[in-house]
Structure 1
Amino acid sequence: MRARPEFRDFNEKELAFIKEFKRGELHVAKGETILEEGVPNQHLYTVLSGWGFRYKAMSDGRRQIVNYAMPGDLVGLQGSLMGEMQHSVEALSPMILCTFERARLFSLFEAFPQLAFDVTWIASRQECMLDENLLTVGRRTAIEKVAYLVVFLLSRFVETGLQVRNGLDLPITQQHVADTLGLSVVHTNKTIRKLADRKLLSWGDGGCRVNDVAGLRTIARWLDPTPRPRPFL
C-alpha cells in the first residue's frame, strides 16, 4: 500500500536557493537520537526517508510521544527559533535527512516569501496534528485512542509514500502506542486485545497488522483531511 506524495513545485529561483541552502544529508540509524531536549541545535532538517518520533521526557524516564516525523516534515524548527530544543527526536527506522544551516533560515524569509509561507504552513499543519493528538489523549476512550493512532499512522504512511510492510503492517511497538496515548502498557495491551477480538487488527513481533481499516476508522470517528499539494523544503 503506497502512494506518491504530492508536493508543490519550486520555481527556478527557489530551487537555486534551496540547493545553496542545503548543507548535506544526515544518515541516522534506527534508535539513534537526532535532536535532544535542552541542547542547542545548529541545524534544520527535512526528512527525506524513514520515520521518527518527537517526545518529551520526565526526569524518571517516563516520556510522552507528541508526534511522528515522516518524509516532507521539518525537524528542528523549534530549536532554530528558540536556540535549543524543547523536545527530543528519535529515529524509528533508518532515516535520511536533508541538512540546512539554522543561521540562514531568516534569509529565506527575507528573499522568498512563498518559501517562508511554506515553512509557516508546515508548522501550522504540525500544530493541527498536535491539536488532534491532544483531543485523542484527553477525550477519546482507550479503544478509540488506539484505533485513531493506528489509522493516523497508516494514513500518514500512505500520504508520505512510506512502504507499509505486507500491505498493512505498521512497524511500531505497544510501548510506542502507550507512550503516545498516555496509557500504561498493560492497559494498551488489553485494549489491543479487544480490537483483535473484533478482527480489526492483530499484533506480532513485527508490529501491528491492520485487518479492517474501515472498522478502525469507524471506532476512531476518523475524518479524512482535505487533500492538497504539500510544501517541501
Structure 2
Amino acid sequence: MFSGYTINEKQVGPAHVLPGLVNTGFSTKLQAACDHHSQRLSKDCTLLLEGDPCQVVYCVLDGWLALSKTLEQGQTQIIDFALQGDIVDPTTADGETSSVTINGLTLGTVATLHRATWQTLISDCPDLRQWLHGKDAARRARHSERMLRLGKGTAEMRVAYALLELHIRVNMISGSALPEFHIPLTQQQIGDFIGLSSVHVCRTMRRMSRNGILAMSDHMDVRILNPQALSHMAGIDHATLKREIVPALPSQTRRTSAP
C-alpha cells in the first residue's frame, strides 16, 4: 500500500482532527473510518511514487504532505501541499497508477482508505459528496491562481502569492486570524512549488523583509507586516482569494443555500 517510506508502526488512537467536521451529517462515519485506518508518518518519508500502483485515497489527519512530479533529468515540481483535513486521490484516469509522488514533509498522520471503502462512504453520505465538491473547487482555484503566476508572473509575484495562499490555509486549520504563521518548508521546496531556484526565493524574501512587508525567523516562521503590500505584489485581493480557496463546511453551505 505504501512504497519506499519510513513509518512509525505504533498504532494511533482516534484522531478526531478533520478541521471543522463536528456534528455534520457524515463526520461520524468519516472519522470512524479514518481512525480505523490511520498511520503515523515520520518526517521526510515517501508514501507513494509517481507511476506506482495505487488503489487508495489518503485523508490527511495531521502534518504536511507534498505532491510532486519529476522529469527524467531530476527536476522536480511540487504540484500541491496537502494539509490537515485534505483528501488526496492520486490515481490517474486509468484507475490503477499514481500521477504523483507523495512525500511526508513533517511528522503526521494519514488515513489510508481503499477505494472501495471510500466509494461506499461517498455513496452513503450525500453531505460528504457536497463537502468534497467544495474541496475540489478550492483546489482548482488554488492551482489556477498559481499557474497564472508560474506562466506570467514575476519572482516577487510568485513568492507573494505562495505566502498568501499558505497563510490562508494554515489559518483555516488553526482557526487563527493572526499575521504570523509557520510553514515547515525549505527555500528549495518553496522554489519547487513556484518554479524558482532556492537562491532566487531567498533573495526575494530578503527584499520583502528589507521593505517591511514581512519578517522571518527560525527557518520559515513568517509574520506578515504589510498585508496590503503583499496582496498588491501577488496581484490578488486577499479577501477574494480566501473566499475562493477556503471551502464552506456542509452546515454553512446549507445555510447559504436556504431560501
Q: Does the TM-score normalized on the shorter chain lie above 0.5?
A: yes
2:202 maps to which of 162, 180, 189: 189
Quote the residue 1:127 is aligned against.
140
SS in 2 for 1:44: strand
2:120 maps to which of 107, 110, 119: 107
Q: CA deviation at 1:184?
A: 2.1
Would you say 1:69 and 2:82 are equivalent positions? yes
Would you say 1:219 and 2:233 are equivalent positions? yes
TM-score by length of 2: 0.75
Quote the residue 2:30 is aligned against.
18
SS in 1 for 2:238: coil
Question: Percent identical across equivalent pairs?
Answer: 24
Could you tell me how far apart the structure 2 residues matched to 1:26 and 1:81 are?
27
Once the two structures are overlaid, the 10-residue window that deviates more, 27-36 or 220-229, is: 220-229
Which structure 2 segments of 5+ residues have no match?
A: 1-17, 251-259
Could you tell me how far apart the structure 2 residues matched to 1:19 and 1:141 are?
42
Q: CA deviation at 1:189?
A: 2.4
Could you tell me how far apart the structure 2 residues matched to 1:163 and 1:81 are?
40
Would you say 1:36 and 2:55 are equivalent positions? no
For the aligned residues, what is the CA RMSD? Answer: 3.0
**1:54–1:90 CA contact under 8 A, matched in 2:** yes
Residues matched between the structures, number: 226
CA separation of 1:228/1:176 partners in 2, compared to 1, >3 Å: closer, same or farther?
Answer: closer
Would you say 1:151 and 2:160 are equivalent positions? no
Quote the residue 1:230 is aligned against.
249
**1:41–1:80 CA contact under 8 A, matched in 2:** no
Q: CA deviation at 1:33?
A: 1.2
- The structure, 1 or 2, with the larger RCO (C-alpha pairs under 8 Å, 6+ apart) is 1
**1:42–1:80 CA contact under 8 A, matched in 2:** no
SS in 1 for 2:91: helix
Q: CA deviation at 1:115?
A: 2.1
Which structure 1 segments of 5+ residues have no match?
A: none
TM-score by length of 1: 0.82
SS in 1 for 2:37: strand
**2:146–2:158 CA contact under 8 A, matched in 1:** no
Q: CA deviation at 1:50?
A: 1.2
Once the two structures are overlaid, the 10-residue window that deviates more, 127-136 or 110-119, is: 110-119
